[in-house]
């Protein structure tokens, strides 16, 4: 998500002014540091969820102290422990089952705090907008797993490649599109079911960045302006 920071994410955070930020998928901590610097400036808190963070967690905790909490768990194990969230970043396991249930947890939190958080999701476009990817297929219930293989993908082709291709070292669904397949499909399915009045808009570059947020004229104007002027 760090590629979107200056032109989309940072101004959105400044506008929303979240007190509690939850980040799913911190990887090397590039975005995590930026979120923590914001939290340090405004007396906020960042909760990072990642079963395998690729940075020095102890050093982060020592520097940011109570501003930083790490849950080294799968998102669907960690989110039930969280009861408050103003802004949620989703950039973890890019498949329908995980994203759909992450959004269901956002809905649960909304019921507790009386408002739906602003949710920012990565990979809403190719390759995983309409195709499941599994870091660890065994973590997904069998009935929600698409047939998959450790083979790469190519723009404009539904079938996986025999050799090479994008992300050939992870398990990708054998085919693109169809029911309950991919991040964008999960967002759409969730929006059809939730009772919360929500809006969704996205930037199409860099694999897609989606904004899911409560219907609010001021918030919608701000996000629409950012998307129109970002060039992303």
Q: Provide DSSP, 145-200.
A: PPPEES--BBTTB-SPPSS--BTTTSEEESS--STT-SHHHHHHHHHHH-SS-EEE
For residue 2, name the pLDDT band (cuts at 50, 70, 90). Answer: confident
Instruction: Please report where in the chains the tokens 């929303």 appear, as a residue.
Output: 16
Average pLDDT, the chain: 96
Q: Is the pLDDT of residue 1 over 90?
A: no
For residue 159, name the pLDDT band (cuts at 50, 70, 90). Answer: very high
Secondary structure letter of residue 47 according to DSSP: E
Residue 112 lies in a domain: yes
Q: Kindly state the average pLDDT of the residues 22-48.
A: 95
Residue 152 lies in a domain: no
**Rg (the chain; Cα; Å):** 17
**Angle ∠(147,210,5) on CA atoms, nearest 5:** 120
Q: Is the pLDDT of residue 143 over 90?
A: yes
Residue 62 lies in a domain: yes
Residue 56 lies in a domain: yes
d(CA 225, CA 63): 35
For residue 156, name the pLDDT band (cuts at 50, 70, 90). Answer: very high
Number of domains in the chain: 1
Residue 33 lies in a domain: yes
Tell me the per-residue pLDDT of 95-105, one tens digit each, with 9 for 90 and over.
999 999 999 99
For residue 127, cis peptide bond before it (omega within 30 degrees of 0): yes
d(CA 28, CA 74): 16
For residue 167, name the pLDDT band (cuts at 50, 70, 90). Answer: very high
Helix (H) or strand (E) holding 62: helix 57-64
Instruction: Please report where in the chains the tokens 């009386």 appear, as a residue.
Output: 114
Which SS3 state, helix, strand or coil, does residue 82 take? coil
The 10 Å CB-count burial string (b at 16+, else e) for 151-186 is bbbeeeeeebeeeebeeeebbbbebbeeeebbbbbb
What CATH number is attached to the domain comprising 226?
Answer: 3.40.50.150
Which SS3 state, helix, strand or coil, does residue 70 take? strand
Q: Is the pLDDT of residue 109 over 90?
A: yes
Q: Is the pLDDT of residue 64 over 90?
A: yes
Residue 94 in contact with residue 135, Cβ under 8 Å? no
Q: Which domain holds residue 28?
A: 2-129+176-230
Residue 202 lies in a domain: yes
Strand locations in the chain (E) = 20-24, 45-49, 68-71, 87-90, 118-122, 133-134, 148-149, 171-173, 198-203, 209-214
Tell me the per-residue pLDDT of 177-207, one tens digit each, with 9 for 90 and over.
999 999 999 999 999 999 999 999 999 999 9
For residue 148, which phi and psi values (nearest 5 degrees)? -145, 165
The pLDDT of residue 224: 96
What is the pTM (predicted TM-score) of this model?
0.96
Residue 153 lies in a domain: no
Q: What percent of the chain has pLDDT over 90?
A: 98
Residue 113 lies in a domain: yes
Q: Kindly state the average pLDDT of the residues 20-46.
A: 95
Q: Is the pLDDT of residue 75 over 90?
A: yes
Which SS3 state, helix, strand or coil, does residue 123 take? coil
The pLDDT of residue 95: 98
Q: Is the pLDDT of residue 140 over 90?
A: yes
């Amino acid at each position: 998500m760090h590629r979107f920071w200056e032109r989309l994410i940072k101004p959105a955070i400044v506008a929303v002014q979240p007190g509690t930020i939850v980040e799913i998928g911190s990887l090397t901590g590039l975005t995590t540091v930026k979120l923590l610097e914001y939290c340090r400036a405004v007396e906020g808190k960042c909760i990072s969820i990642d079963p395998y963070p690729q940075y020095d967690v102890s050093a982060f905790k020592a520097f940011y102290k109570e501003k930083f909490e790490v849950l080294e768990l799968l998102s669907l194990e960690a989110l039930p422990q969280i009861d408050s969230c103003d802004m949620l970043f989703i950039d973890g396991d890019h498949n329908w089952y995980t994203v759909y249930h992450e959004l269901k947890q956002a809905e649960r939190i909304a019921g507790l705090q009386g408002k739906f958080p602003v949710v920012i999701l990565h990979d809403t476009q190719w390759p995983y907008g309409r195709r499941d990817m599994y870091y660890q297929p065994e973590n997904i219930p069998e009935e929600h797993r698409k047939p998959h293989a450790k083979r790469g993908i190519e723009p404009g082709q539904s079938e996986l490649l025999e050799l090479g291709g994008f992300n050939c070292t992870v398990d990708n669904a054998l085919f693109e599109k169809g029911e309950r397949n991919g991040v964008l499909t999960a967002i759409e399915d969730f929006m059809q079911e939730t009772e919360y009045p929500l809006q969704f808009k996205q930037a199409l570059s860099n694999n897609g960045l989606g904004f899911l947020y409560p219907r609010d004229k001021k918030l919608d104007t701000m996000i629409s302006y950012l998307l129109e002027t970002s060039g992303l």
